[in-house]
């Protein structure tokens, strides 16, 4: 099982589509193990986007994610990072394939609705930045036997 950080950015919150987008991940079979709404201050935004510090778009990233509350969540499932990245689509909305979140809902630049961890190591550093250990839960759903290789009960 992998875990990934997913952030529904201010544009998703302001457009009131967070529930609709989160439901797509749940319908795919991913499990929500952490969920909260957060007002992101400048310091947090800078820590989150630290990997982009010094790049021409860094300041715009910081301003955008701190412009309005976000909904942060941790999703879990087999190959979660690759599955989520495929569902989210290309970073630039005009390059995102129809059927992806960005391909179906986003139009331009930084208004791309969702952040998702891009690798296992990234998830391992991002999740603790946004969630304390006690804010994450571990549980099983009976339906998972029907979504994974575990198979039906004997």
Q: Do the beta carbons of residue 116 and residue 77 sit within 8 Å?
A: no
Take residue 119 and report the two structure tokens written for it. 């690798």
Where on the phi/psi map is residue 44: left (φ > 0), alpha (ψ -120 to 50), or beta? alpha
| DSSP codes of every residue in 88-148 | H--SSGGGSPBTBHHHHH--STT---EEE--SHHHHHHHHHHH--GGG------TTHHHHS
Q: Which residues are identified as catalytic? A: 115
């Amino acid at each position: 099982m992998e875990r990934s950080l997913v952030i529904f950015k201010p544009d998703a919150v302001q457009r009131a589509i967070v529930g609709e987008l989160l439901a797509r991940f749940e319908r795919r079979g991913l499990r929500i193990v952490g969920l909260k709404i957060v007002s992101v201050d400048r310091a947090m935004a800078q820590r989150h986007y630290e990997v982009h510090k010094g790049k021409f778009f860094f300041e715009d990233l910081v301003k955008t994610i701190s412009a309005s509350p976000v909904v942060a969540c941790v999703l879990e499932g087999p190959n979660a990072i690759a599955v989520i990245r495929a569902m989210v689509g290309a970073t630039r909305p005009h390059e995102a394939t129809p059927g992806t979140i960005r391909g179906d809902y986003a139009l331009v630049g930084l208004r791309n609705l969702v952040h998702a961890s891009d690798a296992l190591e990234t998830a391992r550093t991002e999740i603790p930045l946004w969630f304390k250990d006690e804010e994450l839960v571990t549980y099983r759903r009976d339906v998972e036997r029907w979504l994974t290789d575990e198979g039906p009960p004997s």
